């Protein structure tokens, strides 16, 4: 089914930062974007200075930086001035431990205020921050601490006991473990974060920081294989700032909520850095997902800009019948909400339209990766939305579709690639390097890094097409694309069509080898509550998909599965569906949701 373009006839409540796409794209330069930040004397640039101290220096220290909602629903505030003091103290703590420039500081914390202190204090000290998701089990924690050369770990007593203590002796490089909250005295080889903080001075002079100094180490989501460590530098802040203005339309008066955990790149770049650099109030949800809780946070915290993920939106859709006494959104005052964006996985058109119908605002999909460090392609506040499209390249970003070879990746012949300019033609998405938050390395994997570039392009590993007007459409990851009877099928198209069926909550689609067709399309489907998995429903779904997609693309087999495997950042792990189906080794499962 073709979805209608969503035109924005109603004037937005706030004038968007980007009003004329073509003109802004044509006139934009990264050096001008850099000039919007303060920088250090002598040309230095430090993320934490831009995110915190700069605001205090210009008289905005009293503004609320963090609005922390505890699991029981009570909320507390941290002002920019308080955050400046705390992060300075933490920088002193690191310095007093002999931890300096380039040393790796890991966090293994829930979304508590101390996490923000540790992140920004580490950056002030010119050390490198690597956030770990607090639900990781002992193996992924150990793997990452080892691979990332962790010298300091900031965590809690409970997390340390459960996930690190037993492995400590094998982590020779891990010199200091700082325990937030009580319990350090009972844990040999640890120090009390709170005591060290209390003893540290509140003023810290950030050392000169080169824009090229390493700032952040982020592990990828592990959707397609073992997670890779992507290295980012302080200059990335230029891109965080500019893209949050354009793609999230952040204005200083916004109350902003990014639902991604700072253990992932989205939660760090757009949950911590970008909004603080913009000087907005950031909502920090210390609790877990729950539909009512989320609506309550949106309403009570008067959230104006909301950045979330397709899987979260689909969970809300599932929990939110459209009418009747259970009409959840209608019972909350969402009148402050003015802009919604989503990232991480393809956003099915139905979810875009659901936003429009149920929340009164369409969802603006955008695309990027851990490697790119910032949003690359987006739907903008002032522009029409073509549901199902991830939008157009950000100002400062040159994107192209490259012709693919038989392996589903860009074809490189004698070092040259071919740019595909036929509208609608599918190929690998490539980006012209040069934006500030581009990753500078895969940690300890030079070969893999170099293999990601060809002929002056960075190759993303994602297949897309571009329509005649320049909108990009996601087809699938190169590893997930299915070749069936001469057709190249992107799982997203099939999943999206299945999710339009009223019984379907989510779907994951793979290719299953077949002697005749090469592969046949198989769909794993999870159903909405109260829907029974029956042979009749299976037939109905097969027919429904066939009518929408045609026989060449529609799934030939459907399996019901209420627990589709996902990464902890919420992405369907198609490689695991495929491995299970074919009885193959399951590979790295460190980021599998629900794993210990």
Query: Which positions lie near Mg ion, rule CB under 5 A?
Result: 220
Closer Cβ to ligand ATP, 279 or 565, answer by number = 565
Q: Give least dist CB 346 to ligand ATP, A.
A: 4
Quick one: which of 34, 54, 571, 574 contacts ligand ATP (CB under 6 A)? 571
* CB under 8 A, 24+ apart: contacts of 546-554: 548/1, 548/497, 548/500, 549/493, 549/494, 549/497, 552/484, 552/485, 552/487, 553/484, 553/487, 553/489, 553/493, 553/494, 553/521, 554/494, 554/497, 554/521
Shortest distance in whole angstroms from residue 69 CB to ligand ATP: 25
Residue with tokens 């300091």: 152
Tokens of 241: 């700032």
Candidate residues 370, 379, 389, 484; the one interacting with ligand ATP per rule CB under 6 A: 370
Q: Where are the beta strands (DSSP E) in 327-466?
A: 339-342, 363-367, 377-378, 389-393, 399-402, 426-431, 441-442, 453-454, 457-466
Closest listed residue to residue 154, CA positions, set 96, 217, 110: 110
With CB cut-offs between 5 and 8 Å by kind, which of ligand ATP, Mg ion, none does residue 344 bind? ligand ATP
Q: What is the CA angle 32-38-43, rounded to 5?
A: 80
Residues 337-366 within binding reach of ligand ATP (CB under 6 A): 343-347, 365-366
Q: Taking CB under 6 A as the rule, does residue 92 contact ligand ATP?
A: no
Closer CB to ligand ATP, residue 200 or residue 577?
Answer: 577
For residue 413, what are the contacts with CB-CB under 8 A and spacing of at least 6?
Answer: none
Question: Least separation, in Å, of the C-beta of 333 and ligand ATP?
Answer: 29
- Could you say which of 148, 227, 229, 263 contacts ligand ATP (CB under 6 A)? 227
Task: Tell me: does residue 572 bind ligand ATP (CB under 6 A).
Answer: no
CB of 373 to ligand ATP, least distance (A): 10
Tell me how far, at minimum, the Cβ of 496 lies from ligand ATP, in Å.
11
Among positions 224, 304, 389, 465, the unique one binding ligand ATP when judged by CB under 6 A: 224
Smallest separation (angstroms) from ligand ATP to the CB of 31: 27
Distance of alpha carbon 345 from alpha carbon 364, whole angstroms: 13
Q: In terms of Cα–Cα distance, which of 228, 263, 261 is closest to 371? A: 228
477 binds, among Mg ion, ligand ATP, none (CB under 5 to 8 A by kind): ligand ATP
**Of these partners, Mg ion, ligand ATP, none, which one is at the site of residue 133 (CB under 5 to 8 Å by kind)?**
none
| 456 touches, from ligand ATP, Mg ion, none (C-beta below 5 to 8 Å by class) | none
Residue 390: name its binding partner from Mg ion, ligand ATP, none (Cβ under 5 to 8 Å by kind).
Answer: ligand ATP
CB contact at 8 A, 458 and 452: yes
Minimum separation from the CB atom of position 253 to ligand ATP (A): 27
- Dihedral angle at the C-alpha atoms of 23, 25, 31, 35, nearest 10 degrees? 60
Q: Give the nearest distance from C-beta 247 to ligand ATP in angstroms.
A: 11
Nearer to ligand ATP, 225 or 424 (CB): 225
Q: Is 343 or 410 the residue whose CB approaches ligand ATP more closely?
A: 343
Backbone angles phi, psi at 155, to 5 degrees: -155, -170
For residue 99, the partner it binds in ligand ATP, Mg ion, none, with Cβ less than 5 to 8 A by kind, is none
Q: Which part of the chain contacts ligand ATP (CB under 6 A), choosing from 125-133, 223-231, 320-328, 530-538? A: 223-231
Under rule CB under 6 A, how many of the chain's residues touch ligand ATP? 24
Q: Which residues pair with 430 in a beta bridge?
A: 400, 459
DSSP character at residue 50 = I
Residues 6+ apart with CB under 8 A from 193: 93, 114, 154, 178, 179, 180, 181, 184
The nearer residue to ligand ATP, 226 or 299, going by C-beta atoms, is 226
Residues 473-532 interacting with ligand ATP (rule: CB under 6 A)? 474, 477
Q: Can you name the residues that pair with 50 across neighbouring β-strands?
A: none
Residues 176 and 221: their CA atoms lie apart, in Å, by 27
* Dihedral sign computed on CA atoms, order 490, 491, 492, 494: positive
Of the candidates 360, 359, 365, the one whose C-alpha atom is nearest the C-alpha of residue 295 is 359
- Region binding ligand ATP by CB under 6 A among candidate stretches 10-18, 206-214, 216-224, 507-515: 216-224
What tokens does 521 get? 């399309």
**Residue closer to ligand ATP, measured from CB, 164 or 353:** 353
Binding mask 422-461 for ligand ATP (x = CB under 6 A): --------------------------------------x-
Compute the least distance from the CB of residue 460 to Mg ion, in Å: 8
How many CB atoms within 10 Å of residue 68? Answer: 18
Nearer to ligand ATP among residue 53 and residue 480 (C-beta): 480
User: What residues from 381 to 400 belong to the interface with ligand ATP (CB under 6 A)?
Assistant: 390
DSSP H or E segment with residue 31: helix 30-35
Nearer to ligand ATP, 446 or 547 (CB): 446
Please report, as ranges, the residues that interact with ligand ATP according to CB under 6 A.
220-225, 227, 343-347, 365-367, 369-370, 390, 460, 462, 474, 477, 569, 571
């Amino acid at each position: 089914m073709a979805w209608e373009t969503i035109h924005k006839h109603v004037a937005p409540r706030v004038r968007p930062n980007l009003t004329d796409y073509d003109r802004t794209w044509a006139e934009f330069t990264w050096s001008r974007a850099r000039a919007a930040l303060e920088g250090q004397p002598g040309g230095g640039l430090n993320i934490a200075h831009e995110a915190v101290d700069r605001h205090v220096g210009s008289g905005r220290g009293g503004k609320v930086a963090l609005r922390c909602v505890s699991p029981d629903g009570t909320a507390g505030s941290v002002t920019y001035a308080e955050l400046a003091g705390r992060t300075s103290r933490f920088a002193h703590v690191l310095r007093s431990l002999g931890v300096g420039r380039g040393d790796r500081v890991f966090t293994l914390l829930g979304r508590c205020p101390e996490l923000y202190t540790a992140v920004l204090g580490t950056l002030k000290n010119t050390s490198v921050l690597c956030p770990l998701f607090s639900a990781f089990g002992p193996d992924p924690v150990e793997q990452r601490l080892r691979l990332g050369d962790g010298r300091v770990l900031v965590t809690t007593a409970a997390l340390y006991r459960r996930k690190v203590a037993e492995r400590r002796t094998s982590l020779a490089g891990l010199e200091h473990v700082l325990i937030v909250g009580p319990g350090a005295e009972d844990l040999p080889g640890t120090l009390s974060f709170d005591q060290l903080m209390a003893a540290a001075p509140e003023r810290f002079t950030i050392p000169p920081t080169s824009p090229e100094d390493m700032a952040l180490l982020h592990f990828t989501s592990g959707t397609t294989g073992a997670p890779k460590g992507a290295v980012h530098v302080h200059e990335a802040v230029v891109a965080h700032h500019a893209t949050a203005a354009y793609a999230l339309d952040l204005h200083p008066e916004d109350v902003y909520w990014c639902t991604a955990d700072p253990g992932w790149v989205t939660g760090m770049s757009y949950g911590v850095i970008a909004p603080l650099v913009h000087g907005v109030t950031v909502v920090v949800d210390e609790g877990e997902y729950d539909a009512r809780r989320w609506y309550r946070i949106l309403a009570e915290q008067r959230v104006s800009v909301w950045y979330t993920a397709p899987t979260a939106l689909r969970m809300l859709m599932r929990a939110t019948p459209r009418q009747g006494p259970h009409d959840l959104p209608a019972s909350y005052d969402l009148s402050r909400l003015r802009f919604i964006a989503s990232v991480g996985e393809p956003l099915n058109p139905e979810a875009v339209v659901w936003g429009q119908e149920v929340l009164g605002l369409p969802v603006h999909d955008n695309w990027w990766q851990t490697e790119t460090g910032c949003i690359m392609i987006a739907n903008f506040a002032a522009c029409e939305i073509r549901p199902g499209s991830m939008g157009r390249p950000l100002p400062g970003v040159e994107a192209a579709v490259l012709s693919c070879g038989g392996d589903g990746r860009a074809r490189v012949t004698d070092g040259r690639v071919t740019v595909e300019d036929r509208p609608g033609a599918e190929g690998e998405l490539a980006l012209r390097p040069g934006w500030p938050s581009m990753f500078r390395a895969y940690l300890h994997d030079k070969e893999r890094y170099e293999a990601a570039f060809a002929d002056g392009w960075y190759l993303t590993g994602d297949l897309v097409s571009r329509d005649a007007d320049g909108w990009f459409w996601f087809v699938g990851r190169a590893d997930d694309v299915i070749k069936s009877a001469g057709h190249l099928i992107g799982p997203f198209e099939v999943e999206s069509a299945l999710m339009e069926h009223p019984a379907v909550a989510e779907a994951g689609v793979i290719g299953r080898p077949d002697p005749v067709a090469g592969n046949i399309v198989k769909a794993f489907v999870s159903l909405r509550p109260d829907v029974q998995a029956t042979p009749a429903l299976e037939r109905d779904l097969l027919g429904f998909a066939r009518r929408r997609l045609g026989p060449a693309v529609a799934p030939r087999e459907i399996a019901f599965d209420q627990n589709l495997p996902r990464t902890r950042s919420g992405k369907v792990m198609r490689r695991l569906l495929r491995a299970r189906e074919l009885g193959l080794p399951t590979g790295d499962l460190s980021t599998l949701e629900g794993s210990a």
